[in-house]
Structure 1
Amino acid sequence: MQSATLAVLTLGLTHFAFASTAQENPVAIPETDPYVLFDLRDNFVWNLTHYQILDPDETMVETLITEADQGQMVFDMVLRDTVPPYCELRFDPTICDDRGSPVNWFSDLPQTICMDIPANVSFNHAKQLKGAKFLCLEPREKLFLPESWQSQQTGAQTYLSQRIEPGAVTVRDDIATIDILVLDAINTPLATLSPEGYGDAKIGMTEDQVRTAMVEPMTSTREGSENNACYHLQSAGGPTGLGFMMLDEKLARVSVYADEYDIATSLIRTGHNIQVGDTIDDVLAAYGDNLIDEEHEYEGPDGRYLTWWENDAKTSGIRFETGPDGTVTAMHAGTGSITLLESCY
């Protein structure tokens, strides 16, 4: 199993997810709450007693142990909707009568999450860890999404944001355990951005079709006459930096704009695993020599447009905008409209 991609951020921002109208019990989160993110989209999720993350991020484990029994923190996860068949995940596949069938992570993902403890963390917290080699997070109640929200999840990926209260570290044998109390949570479906669209929302769809594909309620910038040639749709439940441009009554492009207040926006990836915040070098490595490199209209020579066309006719592709610091600030996917500098113009 590959190593999980793990990240820890300490944000001086109000966590966006809990301002959403989709939350059942909204509670304000102090701006100083520590924040941990598990991005498990590139890993198998095991349908066994424990899910063990190999080679975890040292800072993440350090944060979890440091914040144990210290009050509230934000504990977020990014997952794929469906995990592989049971039999493919057994240590000994011969114990299965057949290949099994795909299962949904809502009902089958194990509730205990375990990881190795890096050597430096063991040294820094020697008295607290007492020689433990593994750290397990054990929920006092169901760790993941409440059943009432399961119907909202339709995409291949999901971003689950939870506010938790971790208990003290307890050690038995070589396992350190932290009990987790989930105080509230919210789910934001995610999808892959491509020249064909965003998840089930495909280029060429009508507004009604896009709304149906996105499931969540959507807001529109259309004002006045119903004959407006160009307008935008946005999912009311987020991600906030995600927008859908309707041109001549059809979905023409999907855009992702960097939003420092919205973690979900920063997690949207293209089919080549590029997301806002990545560097020009990252884009070049992912899309190769076929990129068209042009100076940004408003950022000067240090800002660039990097455009990748899926066909020679240049009717389908992805454009990346980068700022003066060389990082991606926006991504546009769809028809030739991706080259419009001011969205509809």
Structure 2
Amino acid sequence: MTRYQYHIFAPYRVCPLGAHVDHQHGIVTGFAINKGVDFWFTPNEDGQVHLESWTFDGFVDFDITQASQVKEKHWGDYARGAKYALRKRFILKKGITGVIQGSLPIGGLSSSAAVLVAYVMAFAKANDIELTPMEIVQIASEAEREYIGLNNGILDQSCIVLGKKEGLLFLDCDSNEYRIIKRNPKMPDFEIGIFFSGLTRSLVNSDYNLRVYECKTAAWNMLAYMEQPLKTFDKTFLRDIPRLTFEKTRIAMPQRFARRAEHFYSEYRRVRQGVTAWESGNIELFGKLCFESCESSIHNYECGSPELIAIYEIMRSLPGVYGGRFSGAGFKGACIAIVNPEYKDEIERELTKRYLEKFPEYEKTFKVYFVKPDDGARFI
């Protein structure tokens, strides 16, 4: 391999509790994991960016000093998005030459956010820009919202940048305050199972953005019924409306909007309970709450393909699985589970057997991995 000056590792992430609430300024939990994106690069003086991917075909070339043009619906859009968000704040003069590679299949682990974080860090390094961890989070998130077109919150980028191998990230997406809750010494060993359905998905083309709008519409309904002033849609969040207001107004609004709000408020409660369980070392309760989160994702948030629901139902019945849920937006992608490492072989064998009996067409693309928490994005 060509020798490059720098090497960034940006981990993938999992979110055991706090599903689908970051865009409504909720509270979330997460881990960075020991699989992710590796990016090797060398800065140059001419302002040209030349990128190669060992995961996708083709090359990407553009001038970092010029404004990003129309998206090309190509993996290079993520590098252009990082440039776009950085150029809003800084003058960029130096380009890079580099190669990027992912270590797991695409779908459910926020690989797009990991890639964006890597590009933001690389462009900043090349141009002698010092960024705090939260600045990296915010710039990468802005790139994904404003350039890529995914109306997400800061959960993905925060896990990827702020995660620590020795603990659970607890993040308030309203205040951006966070802490790492170290693993209680009483807690038994665990690993994280990742079960790829065999489907891949693009969130921009899924119902992800639609769900965001439904949550905001639920908030608007509540404010309107209570004759409260309405804010513009981009400044309307369920977090700003008390649960008591929801209880008073839920019967008056269309039920699809009431279900979205019910998921938000119940997930807020589950995250609070989960943090207490984690602090006390009660991994069984923590896992039970993860299962309850997935139930709400299915019935209140109404996401989940037949494939993901099948994986979820199978893993619920397996010994050694403390808890789990859909990962990512939950439309295709993967499921994650907190597991007892002693049962890994049995879990993989039974899950693979029962899933492929139901969906034999995914025999070549269904994958099972076991990973561990890791530190956030860093230079190697």
User: Into which bin does the TM-score normalised by the smaller protein fall?
Assistant: under 0.3
Larger Rg: 1
Q: Which has the higher helix share?
A: 2
Q: Which has the higher strand share?
A: 1
TM-score of the aligned structures, taking structure 1 as reference length: 0.24
